[in-house]
Structure 1
């Protein structure tokens, strides 16, 4: 589908002129009255009816019928209203002399007034994290898999409208809810003590959504992967045919345009749940954003609790403890009371290697000789400049680390060459593996299943790909230390030129 903007998408919208015109109050009142009458199924209106309806609201001072006629003609010129000649009989000489017309809202104006009506009700971001939409989407995708080749007339369109409405509503509500958590109003509310009362319910709500997301949404991902291109095209063609069967008075979209829109909608659905070559799925991003929101809520609650505890006066407790100390006669009793009240003082941990004189288990710490450590001062005063210290050499450590890395790369290269000999093999067909090989194979599977392409490239240029088995198809991974039951993945290892070929 060509997603480039056409000339119609870039034209100036003259229908919006009445929202910022000089006499905006008069135009808004006329358009709102005609829109309310349109909702009452009264479409063509006379100027006298419009004038009387606007005057009944009492919002315009000094407004006359001549002004109303002038405003109606201006709205007609902007494309907000359509007019026709009123063929009714004139009841007075004034009506006979005046050009009689009736006015009707244009489709653009209806959508503009609907938008304005919705904007007047906006209070913040709103939104919600509803999990029922996932069940609806899963049900519709399952219906496509089972009935795409044998749907009755109208079933495909009904299923598509139900599927895409649930998907669109779920996505918009989730995006709005997450945005509301990060808004300025939410930041201010999280800094108040009243937030602690709702913190528990909010965290439970977010956690419940994450659990449902992990349980239901990934099932949808699996079902979408099983919808073959042939099945998808057949289903979308049935939806297009059902849409074209609807009787329309006005000229509608062609079959090619409808099919292109449906294909784009299907791509949006699969990109949201599965992802594509350009990045991870929106599902993954939503799960990450929800978890980050939970962490943010918990951090805000912890800060509030710490601030509340910090503001509590402990003068009475300290006075009581002071009286207890004053009542003691012996220093040892004072030491014991201090141990109960204050506990151990903060300790300092010194890093280093202890040189022990004996390996006796019963030797006391106090019998060991002290280890002298140089402690730097924390004073802000500049220390006296002393002799310069020689530069320390870390060549030995770097060489040891280099040898360790080279050994790991050699082990990985040996395992890659071993798997390259198989070419393409299932888990159950592998020869017994040792512990390191098993961990490396499981790491490969984790890296592949975490990407949309189910593959990655090693440091030496070999491509490792994993084919996901059918549900409930398991195999035994034989190892030297036992057997591991797991999904019977198929592992493919290819050289660089084979992977690109």
Structure 2
């Protein structure tokens, strides 16, 4: 936003004149300008500016500080050693600075009267779509690229004009008291313009949808590939260029032939019909006001006269209540929590204040619990956690199945070791002393069974973590299938 500081600065008019001089030189293919060059251009284009090189120098420096202009050193302008030591600077538009200047210039030069619907763009769009299908069938990549550029430009202009037109029309409809004579003078042309556009839109919409279908039948993917190959935006990769063309083509298709029935052309036609009805309603109101001689302005003037002629202040208040429909303030009937201390028949003027809810004071309705708040669910996070859980279960099941082959002569992996330790924990926890001995116990993990039985020798299990010694215990691991054991 610092780039737009020149539009609100104290010397904003001088900054704008200097930038216009750069834009004027840019149209003549001159990029680098010195303060003296800017003064010469302003002397020709804006003689009333009265800016000399000494005044323009600080302006250029400030524009450079804001980032609108780029500065470089030009020693060729020095005619003497003193001038060379003083260092001459030349300036040019920065890439983003030029866009900032154009944005301000477009706002300054904008005219509401220029708003109009682009009716003549419809046949051009139809012709370009037919040419695009033919170029795609012929495999002419350059022609496909040029035609897509024309289609995008025409559709962008059409959408911008439509948005501008309906915005201006909405302001006109809301401003009922602004120049009714001017509105009556142009109402026929306005209605004819909207009706002709609506008629052409209804006539060309099916043809444009059919033309888009013909383009898609010629091969959409091949068309996008050819357009990306001929695109000259070297700072974008081919994949980025193709993705950009695909997004723009999807937007064009959505404009004229959306599959879900929400095409923008249908909304535009509906908006035009609503705008015609609004203009007719405004025309009726303006015509009635001119016929009766009563408008909103005259009504307010008469009302102001009645207020000024009111004999008393109470009469003025009564007139205000009758005109604007505002009655006396609402009184709330509410008992004090301690009815014995503050009886109900006591006047509110004498009784101490009672705390009431804000809802009751603002709306006159007693506060209610209201609808429950919306429960925010993180579905994506739940899916990720569920996927992790399923993956862990799957790996544990595979480890249990691999462990069913036994533990002798093997080095167990991480998952198998975890399963073995969980089985050992379950088996050891179930051991119960019986007659001075520990009977055989069993631990289960899904369909894998681990049996611990007393034995004269110890069992050694090798895992990735090390060697596990089970003193005086024999370990048997088996996997039981449905209907039997293995």
TM-score band, normalised by shorter chain: 0.5 to 0.7
* TM-aligned CA distance change 1:187 to 1:275, over 3 Å: farther
Secondary structure class of the residue paired with 1:267:
helix
- How far apart, CA to CA, are the structure 2 residues paired with 1:299 and 1:179? 17
1:266 to 249, 260, 265: 249
Q: Following the alignment from structure 2 to structure 1, what is the Cα–Cα distance between the partners of residues 189 and 56?
A: 54
Normalised to the residue count of structure 2, the TM-score between the two structures is 0.53
**2:265 is matched with which residue: 271, 283, 290?**
283
- Distance in 2, Cα, partners of 1:196 & 1:69: 52
8 Å CA contact 1:127, 1:172 repeated in 2: no
Aligned partner of 1:302 in structure 2 is 284
Following superposition, the deviation at residue 32 of structure 1 comes to 2.2
Alignment of 1:467-486 (within 5 A): none
Instruction: For residue 286 of structure 1, report the CA deviation from its aligned partner.
Output: 0.9
* CA distance in structure 2 between the aligned counterparts of 1:118 and 1:305, rounded to whole angstroms: 36
**Which residue does 2:114 correspond to in 1?**
126
Could you tell me which residue of structure 2 aligns to residue 237 of structure 1?
Answer: 225
Q: What is the 5 A alignment of 1:52-451?
A: 52-54=40-42, 57=46, 65=53, 68-88=56-76, 90-92=78-80, 94-124=82-112, 126-184=114-172, 187-188=175-176, 192-228=180-216, 231-244=219-232, 252-275=235-258, 280-310=262-292
User: In the TM superposition, what whole-angstrom CA distance separates every residue of 1:221-256 from its partner, at most 9, and x where no partner exists?
Assistant: 233245438711211221121123xxx8xx522212
Q: Aligned with 1:148: secondary structure?
A: helix
Asked if the contact 2:119/2:197 (under 8 Å) is kept, the reply is: yes
The equivalent of 1:453 in structure 2 is: none
The 8 Å contact of residues 191 and 300 in structure 1, kept in 2 or not, is answered as no
The verdict on how the C-alpha distance between 1:40 and 1:140 changes in structure 2, with shifts beyond 3 A counting, is: same
Q: CA offsets, 1:411-447, max 9 Å, x none? A: xxxxxxxxxxxxxxxxxxxxxxxxxxxxxxxxxxxxx
Q: CA deviation at 1:274?
A: 2.5
Please give the secondary structure, in 2, of the residue aligned with 1:43.
coil
**What is the CA–CA distance in structure 2 between the aligned matches of 1:211 and 1:72, rounded to whole Å?**
53
Change (3 A) 1:197 1:18: closer
Q: Which has the larger radius of gyration?
A: 2
The 3-state SS of whatever aligns with 1:275 is: coil
| 8 A Cα contact 2:141 2:227, kept in partner | no
- Are 2:129 and 2:211, in contact at CA under 8 Å, matched by a contact in 1? yes
Supply the distance in 1 between the matched residues of 2:122 and 2:293 (Cα, whole angstroms).
46
Deviation at 1:135, TM superposition (A): 1.1
Tell me if structure 2 keeps the 8 A contact 1:149–1:234. no
CA contact (8 A) 1:275 1:281 kept: yes
Deviation at 1:68, TM superposition (A): 3.7
CA deviation vs aligned residue, 1:258-278 (integer Å, no higher than 9, x gap): 11111111121112222365x
Output the CA distance in 2 between the equivalents of 1:156 and 1:304: 51
Residues 257 and 195 of structure 1: CA distance in aligned 2, closer, same or farther (over 3 Å) = same
> Which ranges in structure 2 are unaligned for 5 or more consecutive residues?
295-486
For the residue of structure 2 that corresponds to 1:83, the secondary structure is: strand
Does structure 2 conserve the Cα–Cα contact (< 8 Å) formed by 1:125 and 1:179?
no
Aligned equivalents of 2:32 and 2:178: distance in 1? 52
Contact 2:74-2:88 at 8 Å conserved across structures: yes
Count the aligned residue pairs.
293
Contact 1:85 1:102 in 2 (8 A): yes
Structure 1 residues 100, 291: closer, same or farther in 2, change over 3 A? same
| Residues 1:95 and 1:283: Cα distance change in structure 2 (over 3 Å) | same
Local SS of the residue matching 1:120: helix
Residue 17 of structure 2 aligns with which residue?
A: 29
Shift, 1:66, TM fit: 5.4
What's the CA shift string for 1:41-99, capped at 9, x where partnerless? 221122332345457756677x7755543433333333222233323263245413301
Distance 1:234 1:33, change over 3 A: same
Q: Contact 1:180/1:186 (CA < 8 Å) preserved in 2?
A: no
Q: Any conservation in 1 of the 2:136–2:218 contact (CA below 8 Å)?
A: no
Q: CA 1:22 to 1:219, structure 2 compared with 1: closer, same or farther past 3 Å?
A: same
Does the CA-based 8 Å contact 1:210-1:290 persist in structure 2? yes
Q: Which residues of structure 1 form unaligned runs of 5+?
A: 1-12, 313-501
SS at match of 2:180: coil
- Which residue in 2 is equivalent to 1:477? none
> Any conservation in 1 of the 2:33–2:91 contact (CA below 8 Å)?
yes
The equivalent residue for 2:31 is 43
Q: 1:70–1:202: structure 2 CA closer, same or farther, 3 Å change rule?
A: closer
Which whole-Å CA distance do the structure 2 matches of 1:265 and 1:40 have between them? 33
